[in-house]
């Protein structure tokens, strides 16, 4: 699944029209983003941060009455990156090389790039496949040609334990978020409206009878649809009952867990869920800005890469208020570029440009953060999200139960 151009372009324009007045209207830098493009201005680029979802995978969820529960049906096993998924990430790495060649050295230099992944095998393998495309061995870099039979060089990928992961796969313990999730996915006005709809009630009952689950909400339907979709894509025989509801009826609820009214509906949810990630991204930009301007320590970092999951990108984009309610595609990618540009007084300043690549058939969409104007001045972004960017003790305090 991908974002149609018309959907994202309309969304970006609507956000500009609705929110653009929050910026100084006399500021000539406030514009609608230009048409999407596979290129960027390397002369003004100072840092790029890449957040992507892993590639194509096998099913994560098996329902009790699933006749296809035998893991031997999947050579890679459950929850695993497939051959297709590896190729997706290899191609994404090649795309990143083409886009940033001339900014990021062709030879792997440890100080130029930092790569982090969640602990999930499919995310780690995605990062490795991506790096194979980004840094292929070349004769220009003799140290990369270490074996004549293997056209690959090892690039380090750093991983997080689930207990420490509060910014890629969001597995770190946060009891307050569990309370908020229960509230917004089941008890919010939006959720109640969806779950109490007579047609959905009938669907839940039908699925409960056939799956062995006690289906009560759209999140369960979304999980089921994901499993059926993967099985269908790999030409496995689905049970006859699925033809009555899949893919049309289950598909209508598939995207809803990623609706911003459910995933990041309030500032408190954004703080406990996206606060650590956003703070890390901004800290990286601050360090690059200080190094570039000469006001801080020298910093050779040019790219930070985060190999994650559908929720990683959707939560970030939802918090920035630039996300449409759609399931992020495999290998979908958020590009955060920091550029040094002249302000309206012709003084250098630092700006963030946000791109989303949710399809290999069209270039990335450049997005306009409503509270920041276009292009988004880094200091304006920090001011807009200062109450959300938390980590460490502050994040742990925010994660304490309300009662």
Identify the CA nearest to 394 among candidates 312, 274, 271, 278: 271
- CATH number reported for the structural domain that contains residue 120 in this entry: 3.40.50.1240
User: Are residues 165 and 139 part of one domain?
Assistant: yes
What's the count of helices (H) and strands (E) in the chain, helices before strands?
13, 8
Domain count, the chain: 2
Characterise 329 by phi-psi region: left (phi > 0), alpha (psi -120 to 50), beta (else).
Answer: beta
pLDDT, residue 284, reads 98
* Of the residues 260, 283, 313, the one at which a domain ends: 260
Q: Which residue has the tokens 């409206």?
A: 193
d(Cα 76, Cα 16) in Å, to the nearest integer? 45
Q: Is residue 303 part of a domain?
A: yes
User: Are residues 270 and 249 part of one domain?
Assistant: no
Q: Is residue 273 part of a domain?
A: yes
Which of 54, 210, 225, 309 is labelled catalytic? 54
What's the average pLDDT block by block, 10 residues per block, for the chain (403 residues)?
A: 39 39 39 78 98 98 98 98 98 98 97 98 99 96 93 97 98 96 86 96 99 97 98 98 98 93 93 98 97 87 98 97 88 98 88 93 91 94 98 97 81
pLDDT, residue 285, reads 98
User: Are residues 252 and 272 part of one domain?
Assistant: no
User: Are residues 129 and 273 part of one domain?
Assistant: yes
Determine contact, residues 384/377, Cβ cutoff 8 Å. no
C-alpha distances in Å from residue 228, one per residue of 2, 39, 244, 252: 18, 37, 13, 14
d(Cα 174, Cα 352) in Å, to the nearest integer? 30
pTM to 2 decimal places: 0.91
Name the CA dihedral angle for 130, 120, 325, 368, rounded to a multiple of 10 degrees: -50
pLDDT, residue 32, reads 66
User: Are residues 290 and 270 part of one domain?
Assistant: yes
Q: Is residue 72 part of a domain?
A: no
Q: Is residue 351 part of a domain?
A: yes
Q: Is residue 51 part of a domain?
A: yes
Cα Rg, the chain, nearest whole Å: 22
User: Are residues 361 and 277 part of one domain?
Assistant: yes
User: Are residues 162 and 130 part of one domain?
Assistant: yes
Dihedral of CA 109/114/118/122: which sign?
negative
d(Cα 303, Cα 142) in Å, to the nearest integer? 23
Using DSSP, state whether 145 is helix, strand or coil: coil
d(Cα 309, Cα 54) in Å, to the nearest integer? 6
* Of the residues 260, 276, 293, the one at which a domain ends: 260
Return the bridge partners of 339, or none.
45, 351
pLDDT, residue 15, reads 42
Token pair, residue 244, equals 């009555």
Q: Is residue 117 part of a domain?
A: yes
Q: Is residue 179 part of a domain?
A: no
Identify the CA nearest to 5 among candidates 377, 356, 399, 252: 356
Determine contact, residues 195/186, Cβ cutoff 8 Å. yes
Characterise 389 by phi-psi region: left (phi > 0), alpha (psi -120 to 50), beta (else).
Answer: beta
User: Are residues 366 and 228 part of one domain?
Assistant: no
d(Cα 300, Cα 289) in Å, to the nearest integer? 11
Is 210 catalytic? The answer is no
User: Are residues 94 and 194 part of one domain?
Assistant: no
User: Are residues 223 and 299 part of one domain?
Assistant: no
Determine contact, residues 375/354, Cβ cutoff 8 Å. no
d(Cα 112, Cα 376) in Å, to the nearest integer? 24
Give the distance from CA 164 to its chain's centroid: 19
C-alpha distances in Å from residue 304, one per residue of 42, 46, 318, 348: 16, 12, 21, 23
Q: Are strands 113-117 and 333-342 parallel, antiparallel or unpaired?
A: unpaired
d(Cα 15, Cα 85) in Å, to the nearest integer? 33
User: Are residues 291 and 390 part of one domain?
Assistant: yes
Structural domain harbouring 202: 189-260
pLDDT, residue 357, reads 96
Which of 121, 310, 343, 391 is labelled catalytic? 310
* Of the residues 200, 230, 260, the one at which a domain ends: 260
Q: Which residue has the tokens 């409960």?
A: 208
User: Are residues 248 and 230 part of one domain?
Assistant: yes
Question: C-alpha angle with apex 112: 295 to 287, nearest 5 degrees?
Answer: 25
Identify the CA nearest to 116 among candidates 45, 51, 48, 174: 51
Q: Is residue 48 part of a domain?
A: yes
């Amino acid at each position: 699944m991908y974002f149609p151009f018309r959907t994202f372009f309309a969304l970006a324009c609507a956000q500009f029209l609705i929110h653009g007045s929050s910026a100084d209207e006399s500021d000539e830098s406030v514009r609608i983003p230009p048409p999407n493009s596979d290129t960027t201005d390397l002369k003004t680029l100072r840092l790029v941060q890449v957040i992507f979802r892993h590639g194509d995978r096998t099913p994560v969820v098996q329902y009790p009455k699933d006749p296809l529960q035998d893991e031997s049906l999947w050579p890679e096993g459950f929850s695993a990156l497939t051959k297709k998924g590896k190729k997706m990430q290899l191609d994404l790495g090649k795309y990143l090389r083409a886009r940033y060649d001339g900014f990021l050295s062709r030879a792997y230099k440890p100080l130029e790039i930092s790569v982090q992944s969640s602990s999930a095998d499919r995310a780690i393998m995605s990062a490795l496949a991506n790096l194979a495309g980004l840094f292929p061995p070349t004769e220009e870099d003799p140290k990369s040609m270490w074996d004549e039979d293997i056209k690959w060089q090892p690039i380090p990928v750093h991983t997080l334990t689930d207990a420490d992961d509060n910014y890629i796969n969001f597995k770190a313990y946060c009891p307050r978020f569990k309370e908020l999730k229960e509230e917004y996915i089941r008890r919010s006005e939006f959720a109640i409206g969806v779950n109490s709809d007579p047609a959905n009630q009938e669907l839940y009952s039908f699925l409960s009878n056939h799956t062995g689950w006690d289906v009560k909400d759209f999140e369960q339907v979304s999980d089921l649809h994901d499993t059926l979709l993967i099985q269908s894509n790999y030409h496995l025989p689905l049970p006859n009952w699925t033809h009555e509801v899949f893919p049309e009826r289950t598909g209508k609820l598939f995207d809803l867990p990623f609706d911003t009214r459910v995933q990041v509906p309030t500032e408190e949810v954004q703080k406990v869920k996206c606060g650590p990630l956003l703070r890390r991204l901004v800290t990286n930009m601050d360090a690059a800005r200080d190094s570039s301007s000469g006001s801080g320590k020298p910093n050779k970092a040019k790219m930070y890469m985060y190999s994650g999951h559908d929720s990683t990108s959707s939560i970030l984009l939802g918090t920035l208020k630039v996300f449409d309610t759609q399931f992020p595609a495999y290998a979908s990618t958020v590009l955060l570029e920091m550029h040094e540009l002249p302000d309206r007084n012709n003084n250098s300043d630092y700006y963030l440009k946000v791109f989303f690549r949710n399809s290999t058939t069209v270039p990335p969409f450049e997005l306009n953060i409503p509270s920041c104007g276009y292009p988004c001045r880094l200091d304006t972004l920090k001011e807009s999200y200062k109450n959300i960017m938390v980590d460490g003790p502050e994040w742990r305090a925010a994660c304490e139960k309300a009662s």
